[in-house]
Chains A and B, each alone.
Chain A
């Protein structure tokens, strides 16, 4: 069974600085997707960034980028130029597209606080 581990329950960063959130996962699959979702306080979960395992190039979305290390089964999220609106829970998630469900397997999350 696949598992996702986020080892940092809470993190904080000063506004405008850079922060990296860690995620490791375990799977025997070769083809899969990885995601970072953001859940702001009392608001719904939104997708931040995705990575296809067969792509070696790390995904980037504006201030958000990932460091995908397939052999190490590591998928960290880097947030550059942190903004107050980045304050949220961040969840790392795994999906096996070949599975019958296609459901997401989430880590426990990292609570990020951006301080002014």
Chain B
């Protein structure tokens, strides 16, 4: 299966620690998105890459958050000095460069972060 993969699937950390998540999109998908989903809510947009360029960042992405996609393939999302409010599911999605399919986004399984 060559779907979107995310690693790790679960992460438990203590407040104040740094964490990094990885997303591997479907190959040849040039668009990559990060979303955050808290309990009882729909996913909320965090940031968007087209190839290696980070084109948009949500106001939800505070200066403790940073994302990269160095070679236009996999992406990492780092959270520094984690807070309990960062506890959530972090979802990655990718979509192909041109699509007559309404820009369908393909989601990964997510990384569930718990900050103690």
Given contacts A102-B48, A103-B33, contact A109 B42 (CB under 8 A): yes
Does any Cβ of B come within 8 Å of A84's Cβ?
A: no
Contact across chains for B45 and A33 when beta carbons are under 8 A apart? no
Interface assignment of A11: CB less than 8 Å from any CB of chain B: no
Asked if B102 contacts A50 (CB within 8 A), the reply is yes
Q: B71 contacts the other chain (Cβ, under 8 Å)?
A: no
- Complex Cα distance, B88 from A39, in Å, reads 16
Contact of A100 among B4, B56, B107, B109 (CB under 8 A): B56
Instruction: Given A45-B91, A108-B41, decide whether A50 and B104 contact each other with a Cβ distance below 8 A.
Output: yes
Q: Does A16 contact B (CB under 8 A)?
A: no
Measured as residues with beta carbon below 8 angstroms from the partner, the interface class of chain B is 20 to 34
Q: Given A45-B91, A102-B31, check contact A91 B102 (CB 8 Å).
A: no
Q: Is B28 positioned at the interface, with any CB of A under 8 Å from its CB?
A: no
Residues of B within 8 A of A (CB): 3-4, 31, 33, 35, 40-45, 48, 55-56, 91, 93, 95, 101-110
Residues of A within 8 A of B (CB): 4, 33, 35, 37, 43-47, 50, 52, 91, 93, 95, 97, 100-109
